[in-house]
Amino acid sequence: MNSKKDLPISFRLCPIILLTIIFSQVQVSEAQLNHPCLIFDDITEVPGYQYRSSEPWNTWESYIISRADYSLEMDFSVPEWQNYDKISYRAGFARDLGLAYQITGDEKYAGKAAEALFNIDLGDQEPWSRSSAVRDYGLTYDWIQSYLDEEMDRIIRNKYAAFVDSAYHELNSNGGNTEYISFSDYHGQAYPNVAVAGVVLSDFTNPDNIPLNSGPGEWVKTGTEYLFIDDKLHSYNIPLINFGFDNVSGKNYLGAYKSYVIESLLWWFQIYSHYYGRNIFEEYPLSKKIVTSEIWETLPNGYMNNCVTSGNTLKTYHRGILNLLDDVDKAIVLDYLKKTEAKNILLYSSENSEMPDLYYYIVSDNFDNMKSSPPPWKSYLNAGSSYQVFRENWEEDSDWLSLVTFNGRTNSNRDSAHHDQLSFEYFSCGDLLLADAGENKYVLDRYYGQYAYHHNGISLEDADNPHPVSEWSDSRSRGVYKGNVNGVLTPVNVKNIVETSWISTLGAEEMISKVIGDVWADYYSVSPPVYYERTIIYPFNDYFIIIDYFDGNSDRMYWNVFRPSGLAIVPTLDINGDGIFSEDETGYIPGELKIGTSGYDWLSLPYKRETATGIITDNITWSVTNPYGKRVNMNIFSSPASDIIITKNIGRIAGYTYQSEVFSPVVYFKSPSSEDFNRITLLNSGYENEVLNSAETLKVSGSGSAVKVFSGSETDYIYSGEGSCVFDRYNTDADIVFIRKSTDNPYEYYLFFGGSYLGMDGSDLFLFNEDNSGKYMNFCGMSGELKSVIIDGIEITGEDVSNSGCIYFPDSGNSSHIIEINLGNKKISVIYFDNFRSDYILGSEGANDPAVSRKFAGISFYLLLSGFNLALLVFLISFRRSSL
């Protein structure tokens, strides 16, 4: 690294030139950094130069030279070009010339690049275009500065400084508009680009006193403090990056619009790390999350999800960040690239490496001999994240389910009004079997994925005051109104997350006070509001359980929306070449639908007309052939049995172009009118010759729903409800119960949310209570001499331990505890979760703060009991459903 980078500007100036500036009217160039210095100090240190005789570097170099040769034909002194006149295009041509000069040493490239810099003020000067040009002109200057004489250098530096000064002040309209932020289209690109200019001219002292109202120190802040800490150019008192990326997970809120900003960010991340000699991933950890989010959010086959504007394409820019990662993360990214680079198996999809070849030529080293390995973790579940992912493993045909928990402030309708809160996508057996509709923008009505039928979510129908029939889906039901450009109006609160070796679960809630109105931008008020809770349970990597609970305080019909899909499609075709797509030209997903046990011809239904099947059932089956040629069956079992309604509608899947906008069935389970409602849905898939789990609805004495699942030698019981109830052999007052028993396995498993007891065959199994000594758990009928209790590795004695079958939970201030109990003939291991509360309150108009509260009124614990012939494994989580 150049040691001058760490010196104050005054010490970088040559004393003779400094005296000349002070005491003479003669205008000469100020002293400068040694160039190049932004992203390399010498071309020979660049991987592309070192491996120039090998592929792919040889091809990249050839393309760079070819582009530069093309740019030699440009006359940069012409004020207006017939083509490519935007300043960003001109700067791109100049950049290619600059790197060609570094590679070849041929001054014809440097001379033409200097011509471009000298005419930096020509071309279409729109603010967004200027903000892109400041980076590429900065790279150009860095790469040809050694070619310039003093007079030309002085002129170019002054012109470039004035150019950047304008770009900087345009970021907030010269202080006149501190509320306007358009992250993807403008600011998310402009901030890191202006910062590059701040580094290029870090030694600029304006010796000629040209009119400037900002300087390099301020410009650099747009890529550091203002980007990642607090944006002082706008009035929100948050980092600019928060408007585009989830600051917890690094996921881009808009989805595919990450492509708009990723080039600017990657250039800046590399330049910052090289120039300052400090890895930006360590200085600003969110930067690393941003460029690695694809690792955890993509489908098991490596394709992107369909969240908001995302589509099923391959993103492979990650080879361009490997040099900034440690060896552990390198191995993980290389594993990701193994299944994505040149691995497109979808006929109408594509691979996007996002960055120009010259970027990879500069930063992409040879990692052929480095081992790859998948991440040591599987699911990504985080209470503060806008997006959750359950994942079985890292195989291409593993189970995968996503959930939208969006609370970000983006100043954009594109994501905030994409009304998809608490909706999910489901992948299994190598196929995307329940897909979000994505953003359909080419075929038929082009609704852009904003309505309830576009998402695997829920919608509400008012029994007493029905809404008009919607134009987009022919329905009186309405989806939850997520928000708009002003923010999220229906925020989600993640209540709990638990991950163990045998189960993963996440519970989330929202208060529904608005549903979509007559168009996506309007809403109807819901009075009284509906409390809605969705809990995902994934036991034993076996199947998914989705539990939906509604507390409406007024009669409503609750609709569950399912969008059966598949990645092998019959594409949409523009047969007559008119650029407009008719129903006859629209493709479809070749899937077979069964309602109950009977096949149903969904494809012959009229487009977007709601069709009542007249069938009441609790299960449907969907069969498709996955992209690998294997037949896959998916069963959706949803209790209680409900009226089945079907609509044939449009969604985007298996790509990003019009070919991928195709017909698929939208299946609704419609509840009878009620104030409160509990639904238990099971998602289970297998290959053609595999036997799927079977399920049956159980009668419940009390409130709620219950299901019994048969999975080989295992039998599962699932319940959701309120108050005291009896189902099958069990009685409880819990909110949610999951039980697994086996005929050939001595273990029993229990998942218990809320309540004070669980009994079987008229006798108590567990009691949960509180007295003057604190909260305790009683193991009724599980006798044995209490030998020891160890909490968090420390043996507990005295009044916190009772031989009467009670275990007290001392208030130690810890948020969770690991408790081991030795009863002689039984050993119990408990993971106890405490203090899942916060002071965050959801406002009447929603919340823009990404923080979420976790409201638990009870206790949470995991129990492992083992004996001589019977072992009991119990996982108990306790929380009370609460209003927001």
Average pLDDT, the chain: 87
Helix (H, G, I), strand (E, B) or coil at 117: helix
* Least confident range of 750-754, 789-793, 803-807, 829-833: 829-833
Q: Confidence band (pLDDT; 50, 70, 90) for 30?
A: low
What pLDDT sits at residue 528? 92
Q: What H or E segment, with its residue span, contains residue 217?
A: helix 216-221
Q: Are 319 and 364 in contact (CB under 8 A)?
A: yes
The pLDDT confidence band at residue 876, using thresholds 50, 70 and 90, is very low
| 159 token code pair | 């012109």
pLDDT of residue 742: 82
Residue 821 pLDDT exceeds 90 = no
Helices (H), 517-604: none
Higher pLDDT, 24 or 679: 679
User: Strand 714-720 to strand 736-742: parallel, antiparallel, or no bridges (unpaired)?
Assistant: antiparallel
Cα radius of gyration (the chain): 31
pLDDT over 70 at 600, yes or no? yes
Residue 187: what are its φ and ψ, rounded to 5°? -65, -35
All residues at 6 or more sequence positions from 396 whose CB lies less than 8 Å from its CB, including other chains: 300, 301, 302, 339, 430
- The least confident of 19-28, 272-281, 356-365, 657-666 is 19-28
In this prediction, residues 326-334 reach a mean pLDDT of: 97
Cα(800)–Cα(767) distance, rounded to whole angstroms?
17
pLDDT of residue 879: 46
Q: How confident is the model at residue 832 (pLDDT cuts 50, 70, 90)?
A: very low
Distance (Å, rounded) from C-alpha 633 to C-alpha 623?
Answer: 4
E strand or H helix that includes residue 162: helix 150-170
Average pLDDT for 214-238: 97
Least confident residue range of 85-99, 500-514, 598-612: 500-514
Q: What is the mean pLDDT of residues 201-227?
A: 97
pLDDT band at 805 (very low <50, low <70, confident <90, very high): low
Say if residue 546's pLDDT is above 90: yes
Residues forming a β-bridge with 708 = 696, 717
649 with 666: CB under 8 angstroms?
yes
User: Is the pLDDT assigned to residue 151 strictly greater than 50?
Assistant: yes
Q: Rounded to an integer, what distance in angstroms lies between the CA atom of residue 788 and that of residue 334?
A: 47
Least confident of 371-380, 535-544, 702-711, 745-754: 745-754
Give dist(CA 660, CA 644) in Å, integer: 27
3-state helix, strand, coil in the chain (%, to 5): 25, 30, 45
What residue type is assigned to position 156 of the chain? Answer: I
pLDDT in tens, 735-762: 999 999 888 766 778 888 878 888 889 8
Q: Partners of 337 in the beta sheet?
A: none
- Give one word for 89, left, alpha or beta, with left for phi > 0 and alpha for psi -120 to 50: alpha
Percent residues over pLDDT 90 in the chain? 71
Do 163 and 120 form a contact (C-beta atoms < 8 A)?
Answer: yes
pLDDT for residue 500: 81
Residue 279, SS3 per DSSP: coil
* Interval 85-93 mean pLDDT: 95
* Those residues with Cβ within 8 angstroms of residue 797's Cβ, 6 or more apart along the chain or in another chain: none
* 621-680 pLDDT tens trace: 999 999 999 999 999 999 999 999 999 999 999 999 999 999 999 999 999 999 999 999
Residue 124 sits at φ, ψ, to 5 deg, of -65, 120
Q: What is the pLDDT of residues 33-74, one digit of tens each?
A: 899 999 999 999 999 999 999 999 999 999 999 999 999 999
For 12-26, 222-236, 695-709, which range has the lowest pLDDT when averaged over its residues? 12-26
Whole-model pTM: value is 0.90
pLDDT of res. 10: 33
Calculate the alpha carbon distances from 86 to 73, 74, 92, 131 in Å: 17, 13, 10, 11
Among candidate residues 640, 871, 870, 861, the one with its CA nearest the CA of residue 751? 861
Torsion sign (Cα): 236, 242, 248, 252? positive
Encoding tokens for residue 391? 């994942």
pLDDT of residue 465: 86
Q: Give the DSSP H or E segment for 91.
A: helix 87-104
Q: Which of 116, 106, 208 is nearest to 147 (CA)?
A: 106
Coil/strand/helix, residue 831 = strand
pLDDT of residue 848: 36
How far from 404 is each of 84, 472, 482, 483, 640, CA to CA, in Å? 40, 22, 11, 14, 25
CA–CA distance, 480 with 461 (Å, rounded to integer)? 11
825 has pLDDT over 50: yes
Range of lowest pLDDT (358-372, 440-454, 588-602, 859-873): 859-873
Cis check: omega of the bond before 36, within 30 degrees of 0 = yes
Looking at the predicted structure, is the pLDDT value of residue 846 above 50? no
Average of pLDDT values for 229-244? 97
Mean pLDDT of 361-387: 95
Query: Cβ(415)–Cβ(257) under 8 Å?
Result: no
Torsion, Cα 115 117 122 125, to 10 degrees, reads 160
Q: Which one-letter DSSP state was computed for residue 187? A: I
When pLDDT is averaged across residues 849-877 and rounded to a whole number, the result is 35
pLDDT of residue 129: 86
What is residue 774's predicted lDDT score, i.e. its pLDDT?
Answer: 66
- Contact present, 398 and 433 (Cβ < 8 Å): no
